[in-house]
Structure formats: structure tokens, C-alpha cells
Amino acid sequence: MLNSSTIDYIKKQYKKLYTDTANVYRYSKTTTSAGATRVNAGSTPTIQNMPCRISQKELNSPIQSQTPTENNISYEIKLFCSNDFEIKTGDRIEVIRNGKVIKTYEAGEPFLYPTHQELLLHRLDRG
């Protein structure tokens, strides 16, 4: 088991690797006057300018999955960030690099570690 000073040191080292930022939007449920449940996409970020880093790993070779009519490339996208932030499965995450939103994702289940957390991301847009 790591002691708290070692964990703090490792967390500081991880923070140096966070080259991106993210805004996190959370869905909420409300009940209408008729008693129906409505799911609302949050328009105001729950978390703003969260330091993070995204990484992608190719899952198959483009050559093996390419046909004359299709170019199937699959990859895994992972977000690394501090475990000080509460991110929930299904949150919408805008990743910002160099001041521009590069992609919008949906958060998978967070995996919490003593020094950071990792989440698989699912891309919401195409192209």
C-alpha cells in the first residue's frame, strides 16, 4: 500500500501529463406536471476546464479490415484525469485541445486508482 506522501507525489507527476482540458455535462431527470419523467441533457457544465489527457489505441489493423467499399478502423479512446473529479457513466465530455473542442464523447465506467482515474470514451459524433 502506498503512503499518502507517495500518492501525492505520483498525482503531481500525472498532472504534468494532462495536456488537454474537458467540460463535463451531466444528464438529469425531471418530472413533468403530467407525471412523466423527462431526461434533460445539461447545457451548463457540471465540471469545467478539467485537466486531462486522451489516448487512443488502435484495436485492429486498417489493412486487415479494409475492403474496396469499406474502411473499418476501430480504436479505443481513454481519458485520464485526477480522481478528485466525480465523473459518472453516461456523462457527456467535451475534450478541448489548444482552445478548441476536438470531440464530444460519452463517458464509460470510471476506473478509480489511488493516483488518478481512467474512463473509456464513446464518440458521439461521426466524421
Per-residue model confidence as pLDDT tens digits over 29-47: 778 788 887 777 677 899 9
User: Exposed (0-12), middle (13-18) or buried (19+): which is 78, by Cβ within 10 Å?
Assistant: middle
Q: What does the radius of gyration of the chain's CA atoms come to, in whole angstroms? A: 18
Alpha helices in the chain, H assignment, sequence order: 4-17, 62-65
Residue 127 has pLDDT above 80, yes or no: no
Q: How many domains does the chain have?
A: 1
pTM to 2 decimal places: 0.77
Check residue 82 and give its pLDDT: 96
What digits encode the pLDDT tens for the residues 49-104?
999 999 988 766 555 556 777 766 667 899 999 999 999 999 999 999 999 998 89
Which DSSP helix (H) or strand (E) runs through 22? strand 20-25
Q: Which domain holds residue 53?
A: 4-123
Residue 110 has pLDDT above 80, yes or no: yes
Rounded mean pLDDT of 8-29? 92
Q: How far apart are CA 91 and CA 98, in angstroms?
A: 22
Q: How far apart are CA 118 and CA 78, in angstroms?
A: 7
Q: How far apart are CA 46 and CA 101, in angstroms?
A: 17
What is the CATH classification number for the domain harbouring 61? 2.40.10.370
pLDDT band at 22 (very low <50, low <70, confident <90, very high): very high
